[in-house]
Structures are given as structure tokens and as C-alpha cells.
Amino acid sequence: MPHLLFLDLSYTMASEMIATELNALSFPSLRVLKLRGLRLTDQKLQSILHGRHLLWSLDVRENLLTDTVTEALLPFLRRRTPRPESLDWSQEWELYDNPPFYARHEGTHEVEDGFAHDEWKFSVPYRPDDKEAFMKYFETNGRLDHRGRRWLNDDDPLYRETGLTHLYISGNKLSCEGIQGLIAHTGSLHAFDVGSVLWPNARIGVPEMQMPYAQLNIGRYLPRSASNFLTRLRVHHSIVTYTPTIRLTNKNEYTLESLELAESVGASIRDKTSPHRCVPFVLLTNFRLKSLTLCDVPTKSYGFVLQELKTLLSRCRVQEQTLAEAKKAQGNQRRAPQLLTGLETLRLEFVPLHRPTVVALSSVSGDTDADAFLASTAGDFSFFGEAESSKPTAPSLRSQASSFLGSSRPSTSSSSAASRPASASGGEPKQKRRWWKKEEGKGKGKVKGKEIRRVEPAEPERVLLDVVDELKQFRKGEERWGGKLEIVFPFGR
């Protein structure tokens, strides 16, 4: 098959058979390869990719790849080129598309510092790599009477040797450090699907929770000055919310306790009070990005994640207004530079809240009212004293966040009596102020006491908000972004 351009083997056969069959065939014209859900390991993928440097689209989602595979992918990615000082990389330049570059011949054209050559070589339009769009492209640009020749013209963008510009690698065993090393190497990606990856540097002290998912360290590589061609991006929501996702073990769910802890960690990272640092992605630094998908967004929030998402929508509106003003300033000039479109689609993929399974017990007495009364009074009496029946106090949220972030600072709160400061005289610590007092009243030769409770003011209870409902209400405001907001529940609601 010397003219084969597109090959999709996703969910078809075992990885050993895939590697054997592909290595036995050359496919000299192959440009798009999809190997999704084949349980590929790092070694199998390296064997398959050997010698296939003409690929510009690779889909290896939902396999068994680790950070080791990033080293094998680096030769297929164009190295990041230093920015030339001759170009104006100001904020106004961010609004416009790349200027055209003309060359008589790629091999004979003299290029200063190699930059103009790279810009011409990699400045290709966004090429379709899904089946429907690919076939539609062939219907428009293909030749039906090829008669042994290529299906497209030799100078068609689909044949251009650019290295990988479309990379889909989500659903593997990757960490945020591996992804950082991958995207820091290149600036030529047009489509990048990394999804949710592990954050191994954070520590968690809760047994039923696994390592958190986050992507806090690639924001510096996403502005247009660093990723000049990035058009579609799918990544964890922490690049804009600072907040990790803490799932239950082997489940795509979270609990309210883990949500509260995650938002506390996110607030610490944003306020720069944690040992971890994050350079968030600011939408106004990349007007070329058309589609942004944020993964593992919690359906509930105590306010922090919700506010960051609202800030993102506000920036979408500011970007839209900036482009509208620039278009108005251009007027009807025929030779005006081409404006970029800005973000057109924001897709939020939500992870559901864990709901414990309630086991309904059969009634012994047959009287539902009696069973309900018995259940309500089950904890009113105990044969043991309070000291024997009491359970250890759970650690405070602040101490959990400190443990999560690996902070060496001791927690400021403790439930142990030994941690209370002693009195100035060196004796026992001072007792707490009594919460009741005796009030004298009138009587016949007696002083009647009246017990008065004095309730200490409680801390305001945090309100749990529904993120989807709150975003819908926010979208009804006057400053509405004109783009498309998609709400998706991949794991159910």
C-alpha cells in the first residue's frame, strides 16, 4: 500500500500482533496513525514508530504508556526555535495570523539562522485527522483519476513533512513531569490531548484517596510566543483553577472531603503560600487557540473552583471584545493582516460526586414507624464512658493541606490536650472560660440560680454550590461570551 495516508487500528487486536504486522509493512506515505486502546507499552510503541518520521498525527490514547515513552517521541517533534529579535512579539502581534513566507525552493533558499526555513516548513494550515473530516478533505481536494499516482498533489499540506503536529496521549500512566518535558521540547503542536495526569510530588495522608491529578507546570509553554501553532488543547482544569482532582481509588469519583482539601490546596498555590508553584495559562496570551477542553472538573464547589471558571469565562469575553475592536479598526482595508478568531469552544468535562451506596435492611417488627424511632435513638446511650467510646479527632483541613503539599511547617491547630500551652506559673494550663453563670434573683431567704447558656459564635458554614447551575446563571448576565460552552459528563452525573 504505497499511497496509504490514514490508518486506524484502534481497539482491534493485541499489541504484539500490531507491532509485528506494522513492522513487516513499510507504508511510505503514512501520515495519520491511530493506535487507541491496544494496551501498548513503551517498548511496543517504540518498535512501531521506528523509522516512521513522516507521521504528523499520532493517537495512542488509553494504553499503558509511562513517562519513558516521552523520550521516544522527542525525535518526532520539532525542537523549539528561539524567537527572532527582528519580529514584533508585542500584544498587538498576538491578534494576527502569521505573515506568509515565500521561497523559491526549500533546498536552495538562503535562510538566516534557520528560522524562516522552519516557519515556512511548519506553517501549515490545521490539517484534519479524524475520519469524517479526512474523507471530506479528499472529496474537495483529491484526484479520483490518480491512476497509480498520489491521491493529492505533491505540494498538498497533508504530504508536508513537519514532524508530529497532532498528538493524543491521554488515558495513560503519565505524570505532569513527563508532559512538561514533552511540551517544553517543541512548539509545533497544533492539537494536543494530554487529559488528566498524576501529580506525584504531592503527598496525601488519607488512605482511601490515591495520588491527585493535576497539570500545574505547563502554563508557561502555552502562550503563543511559545506555542505559535496550538489550536486545540485538552488538559486538566488545574491549568486555570490551580486545583487538583483527588479521586477515590479505582473510581472516577470524588468526595466532599477531598473537594474541600483540593480547593484549599488550590487557594494556597494561587496565593503563593505553598512550596509548589504554578504558572497558570492565561487565555489572553494565545489568540490562536480555538478549542479548549478542561478535564475532571468537579460538579460541586465551595466557591474556589467556581470563581476561577467564572474568571476564565470573563477572559473569553475580554478576548472577544479585543478582537472585535481590532476588526473595527481595520475597516475595509484589503491588505490588512488576517485576524485570528480567538477561542470558539470551551468544553468542560465533569467528574461526578461519590454517592455512598445505602443498603436497605429488612424490618424485623414490620412497623416502619417503630424502626425509624429505633434508628433515631441508636446513638443516645452507651454502656461505656465518654472517654472510652470517643473516637480520635480527625485532622484539621489546614494540617491535611500541609501534608498534601509536603510542607514542613507544623500545623497550627491540634486536638490533643498535651499541645495546649501551660500557664505562666508553670502549673496546669488555664481552664477554659465557663459557658454558664449564675444569676441572682429574688426569693424567700434563698438565692435562686438561673442557668444561662452563652453560645460561642460559630464559624460561617461553607456553602456547597452546583457548578453547572452557577455557570448557567453566570452566562445569563449582560457580559456574555459569544462562544460555545459545552457541558459533558463522561462518567455520568
Q: Which residues contact 369 (CB under 8 A, 6 or more apart)?
A: none
The pLDDT > 90 percentage for the chain reads 39
Phi-psi region of 289 (alpha: psi -120 to 50; beta: other; left: phi over 0): beta
- Is residue 101 scored above 80 in pLDDT? no
- Which range is most confident: 145-154, 257-266, 298-307? 298-307
What residue has cell string 498533489? 153
Q: What is the pLDDT of residues 308-345, one digit of tens each?
A: 999 999 999 999 999 999 999 888 887 888 899 999 99
Q: Which residues pair with 453 in a beta bridge?
A: 436
Q: Do the bridges between strand 450-453 and strand 436-439 make them parallel or antiparallel, or are there none, so unpaired?
A: antiparallel
- Is residue 39 scored above 70 in pLDDT? yes
Residue 471: phi and psi, rounded to 5, are -70, -35
The DSSP 8-state label assigned to residue 418 in this structure reads G
Q: What angle do CA 243, 249, 489 make, to 5 degrees?
A: 60
Q: Would you call 350 helix, strand, or coil by DSSP?
A: strand
Q: What is the pLDDT of residues 56-100, one digit of tens each?
A: 999 999 999 999 999 999 989 887 665 554 455 555 678 888 776
- Is residue 131 scored above 70 in pLDDT? yes
Neighbours of 404 (CB within 10 A): 24
- Is residue 367 scored above 90 in pLDDT? no
Asked whether 143 and 152 are in contact (CB, 8 A), the reply is yes
Q: Would you call 213 helix, strand, or coil by DSSP?
A: strand
Supply the angle between the helices 467-475 and 304-330 in degrees, to the nearest 10: 30
Q: What is the pLDDT of residues 389-445, one digit of tens each?
A: 444 555 666 666 666 666 544 444 433 444 444 444 444 444 444 444 444 445 555
Phi-psi region of 58 (alpha: psi -120 to 50; beta: other; left: phi over 0): beta
Q: Of 215, 214, 243, nearest to 303 (Cα)?
A: 243
Q: Would you call 484 helix, strand, or coil by DSSP?
A: strand
Distance CA 259, CA 212 (A): 11
Q: What is the pLDDT of residues 163-193, one digit of tens each?
A: 899 999 999 999 999 999 899 888 889 999 9
Q: Which residues contact 236 (CB under 8 A, 6 or more apart)?
A: 194, 195, 196, 197, 213, 214, 215, 245, 294, 295, 296
Residue 484: phi and psi, rounded to 5, are -105, 125
Task: Determine the pLDDT at residue 465.
Answer: 96
Half-sphere exposure of 230 (CA within 13 A, CB side): 26
More reliable by pLDDT, 52 or 450: 52
Residue 307: phi and psi, rounded to 5, are -65, -40
Q: What is the pLDDT of residues 206-246, one digit of tens each?
A: 445 567 899 988 998 998 888 889 999 999 999 999 999 99
Supply the angle between the helices 256-270 and 304-330 in degrees, to the nearest 10: 50
Q: What is the pTM of this model?
A: 0.79
Task: Determine the pLDDT at residue 334.
Answer: 79
Distance CA 33, CA 5 (A): 9
What residue has cell string 490551580? 242
Q: Which residues pair with 452 in a beta bridge?
A: 437
Distance CA 385, CA 388 (A): 5
Question: Where does the pLDDT of residue 483 fall: very low under 50, low under 70, confident under 90, or very high at 90 and above?
Answer: very high
Instruction: Tell me what the mean pLDDT of segment 32-44 comes to.
Output: 93
Q: What angle do CA 86, 92, 94 make, to 5 degrees?
A: 80
Distance CA 351, CA 354 (A): 9
Alpha helical stretches, state H, 355-466? 368-376, 386-389, 397-405
Question: What's the chain's length in residues?
Answer: 493
Q: Which residues pair with 418 in a beta bridge?
A: none
Q: Would you call 348 helix, strand, or coil by DSSP?
A: strand
Average pLDDT across the chain, whole number: 78
Distance CA 304, CA 282 (A): 17
Q: What is the pLDDT of residues 195-216, one digit of tens each?
A: 999 988 775 554 455 678 999 8
Q: How far is CA 444 from the centre of its chain?
A: 75
Question: Where does the pLDDT of residue 150 fall: very low under 50, low under 70, confident under 90, or very high at 90 and above?
Answer: confident
Asked whether 165 and 127 are in contact (CB, 8 A), the reply is yes
Distance CA 458, CA 397 (A): 17
